[in-house]
Chains A and B, each alone.
Chain A
Amino acid sequence: MMLDLNTIWFVLVGILFTGYVVLDGFDLGIGALHLLTKTDEERRIMLNSIGPVWDGNEVWLVTGGGALFAAFPMVYATVLSGFYMAIMLLLISLIFRAVAIEFRSKEPMKWWRQMWDISFSIGSILSSFLIGIVLGNIIWGIPLDAEHEFVGTFSSLFHPYALLVGVMAVALFTMHGAIYGVLKTEGGINAKIRGWVNNTIIFFIICYVTTTMATLLYVPHMMEHIRNHPPLFGIALLNMLAIANIPREIHHAREFRAFLSSSASIVAFMALFGLGMFPDMVYSNPNPEFSLTLYTAASSQKTLSIILIFALIGMPLVIAYTVSIYWIFRGKVKLDLTSY
């Protein structure tokens, strides 16, 4: 395998979307759990646990979208226009999630706060589910014509496998968010979230096993590279070990390590996803010959090299900001005058 510009960009776009699901994943998970908390103070703690970071986390999605547009415009165009209604619903869910966080604390009325609690939670769950639906369809393959245009319908996006991945995304983010919640809180709310963690892990593992079996049985093209290059099975193994390690760390009350394990499992999922797709970016099912690959979907070599320079300058800065912000806001959430 040659490490050419197209492959580099395939990996870089993958890294941006992986950054998004690892980071915004726990924000969405906190949202999914939000309505399980009862008192106003608990809900404020939930919101403020992600307060300083959710917006920066969402930037990974925006930048991932921009990078996809720049490096693989054909994929950007085909997927977004093909998944039109699903993408619109995802955007609207993300809008509600965002404004709910900002608006909730602005007024004390009970109905006001209740309204934004519901928006925050439903927005988060629906976003997670739709991200799963999109991923599920990309894995399964979508019907394309010779011009790489989507020829399915909105309802055809909701086939059983996509629904399964959709539910798994909700389960994964909920678990990830619960672990993050334990990490960031103390006192009563901490004990409460700690009580939920095991349930979220069990729910996730059921989804994980089911999805893995379904993928092995019904989506054989995702397995090709691992079948042909056994050392790559290591990634699948890493994925399983990271997941198995989560309940162990939680049991020993080592939440930070549990959080790292859950992040590692998400990274491994994305790696398996990228590996399974490679070199396709949009797999055409049926008619695999109409698939968009990282060569047929890409921008010119000149553009790929220009944006590589952007990435080489930009990524170290991005990592520096991200690490600094998480470092400055480390530790347990305390409510103060500036909190939501």
Chain B
Amino acid sequence: MDVLTLSRLQFAVTIGFHYIFPTLSIGLGLLLVIMEGIYLRTGKSLYHQMTRFWVKVFGLTFVLGVATGIVMEFEFGTNWATYSRYVGDVFGSALAAEGIFAFFLESGFLALLLFGWDKVSPRMHFLSTVCVALGAHFSAIWIVVANSWQQTPAGFHIVGEGITARAEVVDFWQVIFNPSFLDRISHVYIGCWQAGAFLVISISAYYLLKNRHIDFAKASLKIALGLAVVASVLQLVTGHSSAVGISKNQPVKLAAFEGHYEESAPADMYLFGWINEEKEEVSFGIRFPGMLSYILYGDSKRAVTGLRSVSPEDRPPVNITFQAYHFMVLIGFSLIFLSILGSFMFWRGKLVNNKLVLKILVASVLGPQIANQLGWMAAEVGRQPWIVYQLLRTSEGLSRVVHQEQVMVSLILFGVIYSLLFALFIFLLDRKIKHGPLEEEPTVTLHRAG
């Protein structure tokens, strides 16, 4: 494998593994705010117990996010030095802002969240929880700004030529609110909330199946199912809005999502399918004729720009993009169905005794995780061959001084270490779950000020 393939693979491995954790920090962060908020309002020890248990789970996901996140901060420079020189003026500011506005807030108040129970008042502790959740949400803003700028660059001009060419900021607000930013940040946030909600749903359903910590599990489930329904339905809205945005800003990527080759013709949609990239066609699949045109424009006869509008070297790998996108959408719909079904049964009091649905809910934690990974795969592979859309090719962004053997060694190291960390994470999470929440003294209630 050449340096380009190895570096892309390393980026995929390091970002893919990293992305498991911040999604959980963001989603669990929001749930912790809700749980501790209820505790502060009602003073019920159940919610205190709940907050403390989920804080422990949060702590575990957080540290893995930190440990694997530090790689991301430096990997642009190590493997993509030419890219870094090219975009530093624009892209670097977002990373700097992320550190200064998000990470300090998050890590500072995390200390109080984890260790401050007896050091500060309940209100102050709640404030820390809010700040940690805010910090986690802020960090997503800046990283999505940076990535969206790669997808739909705006607010810059190119200075210099050839090897010295680079993008410089002209309008900072256009850089931030580049055409895809709002669609993508909302899509990412909701994906994170789903990740957090379904983790809580899964663990709570497990307790119900095992007939343990029943009150704790039901109360956790109630909050998490509520968030899951809202998030899963909203995800359909942001997903649609993203697709419409992509049809305007990155038509070739959208064409790859649906395997739409004709340069300009009404476009179909597939429930699933398989692309033959050599023959440039969908070789089989279940097709809804004109559906893509209809969804984008409300008119099934309207033409949609296809892959043949650009020469083959400017097209992304179509089949991978197609599959990633389709499985993500499939999971998205399943999560809507599952969260509504779960909530309905919970409301009717029928969930606790339905082993089958509980088992499905235990497995549901994988849904948002896989969909999040697939969504990024579709977004990033679909952007190829560009590292900055229609400005700089991925192959042009590499570090010129880094050799194949070096990347091979670091890739193997990351592969081994991340596999180990993943196994340990699952092991520790499993132990934490089996151990369960600490039983609280019924006398532990909140001293309500005022």
Q: Please list the residues of chain A having a beta carbon within 8 angstroms of any beta carbon in chain B.
A: 51-53, 55-56, 58-59, 61-74, 76-82, 84-85, 87-88, 91-92, 94-95, 98-99, 101-103, 106-107, 147, 149-151, 154, 299-300, 302-303, 306-307, 310-311, 314-315, 317-318, 321-322, 324-325, 328-329, 336, 338-339
Contacts and interface: CB of A to CB of B under 8 A. Distances in A.
Given A55-B63, A70-B88, A98-B66, A87 B105 contact: no
Nearest to A72: B88
A80 B77 contact: yes
Given A77-B82, A99-B421, A66 B401 contact: no
A325 B95 contact: no
Contact of B95 (A51, A66, A80, A98): A66
Contacts of B103: 59, 62-63
B104 interface: yes
Given A69-B91, A73-B88, 15 more contacts: A55-B107, A62-B69, A63-B100, A67-B99, A70-B89, A70-B93, A71-B96, A73-B92, A79-B77, A81-B399, A84-B406, A94-B70, A95-B417, A98-B70, A329-B119
Interface stretch (B109-117, B228-236, B383-391): B109-117
Contact of A69 (B82, B88, B101, B172): B88
Contacts of B289: none
A92 B89 contact: no
Contacts of A68: 92
Given A73-B89, A102-B60, A52 B115 contact: yes
9 contacts: A55-B110, A59-B103, A62-B103, A66-B97, A67-B99, A95-B417, A310-B93, A317-B105, A321-B105
Contacts, number: 226
Contacts of B118: 336
A101 B99 contact: no
B426 interface: no
Contacts of A150: 401
Contact of B428 (A58, A106, A311): A106
Contacts of B110: 55-56
B445 interface: no
**Which 7 pairs from chain A and chain B are nearest by CB?**
A73-B88, A80-B77, A63-B99, A70-B92, A321-B108, A69-B92, A52-B111
A77 B98 CA distance: 19
A147 B79 CA distance: 17
B433 interface: no
Contacts of A88: 78, 409-410, 413
B96 A98 contact: no
B268 interface: no
A106 B95 contact: no
Among B96, B111, B428, chain A packs the most CB atoms within 10 A around the CB of: B96
Given A99-B421, A317-B105, A80 B63 contact: no
B165 interface: no
B104 A318 contact: yes
Interface of B: 59-60, 63-64, 66-71, 73-74, 76-79, 81-82, 84-85, 87-93, 95-101, 103-105, 107-112, 114-120, 159, 163, 166, 168-170, 172, 399-402, 406, 409-410, 413, 417, 421, 424, 428, 431-432
B81 A303 contact: no
B84 A299 contact: no
Main secondary structure, interface of A, reads helix
A307 B81 contact: no
A116 B119 CA distance: 28
A84 B105 CA distance: 30
B105 A325 contact: no
A134 B77 CA distance: 15
Given A92-B413, A99-B64, A306-B172, A325 B76 contact: no
Given A56-B104, A56-B111, A85-B410, A70 B68 contact: no
Contacts of B108: 56, 321-322, 324-325
Nearest to A63: B99
Contacts of B432: 106
Contact of A314 (B70, B77, B101): B101
A327 to B, nearest CB: 10
Given A99-B421, A310-B96, A310-B97, A85 B81 contact: no
A55 B109 contact: no
Contacts of A306: 93, 169, 172
A91 B104 contact: no
Contacts of B99: 59, 62-67
Contact of B409 (A66, A85, A147, A311): A85
A98 B63 contact: yes
Nearest to A59: B103
A147 B103 CA distance: 34
B88 A299 contact: yes
Contact of A338 (B63, B71, B98, B114): B114
A317 B70 contact: no
Contacts of B67: 94-95, 98-99
Contacts of A317: 104-105
B48 to A, nearest CB: 13
Contacts of A63: 96, 99-100, 103-104
Given A76-B77, A328-B119, A106 B431 contact: yes
A313 to B, nearest CB: 8
Nearest to A78: B81
A310 B99 CA distance: 10
Contacts of A70: 88-89, 92-93, 95-96
Contacts of A339: 115
Contacts of A101: 63
A84 B399 contact: yes
B349 to A, nearest CB: 35
B232 to A, nearest CB: 31
A65 B428 CA distance: 31
B65 to A, nearest CB: 10
A151 B163 CA distance: 17
Contacts of A154: 406
A72 to B, nearest CB: 8
A321 B131 CA distance: 11
Contacts of A329: 111, 115, 119
B89 A303 contact: yes
Contacts of A74: 85, 88
Contacts of A65: 73-74, 95, 99
A122 to B, nearest CB: 14
A163 B133 CA distance: 42
Contacts of A92: 413, 417
Among A74, A81, A106, A150, chain B packs the most CB atoms within 10 A around the CB of: A81
Contacts of B76: 69, 76, 80
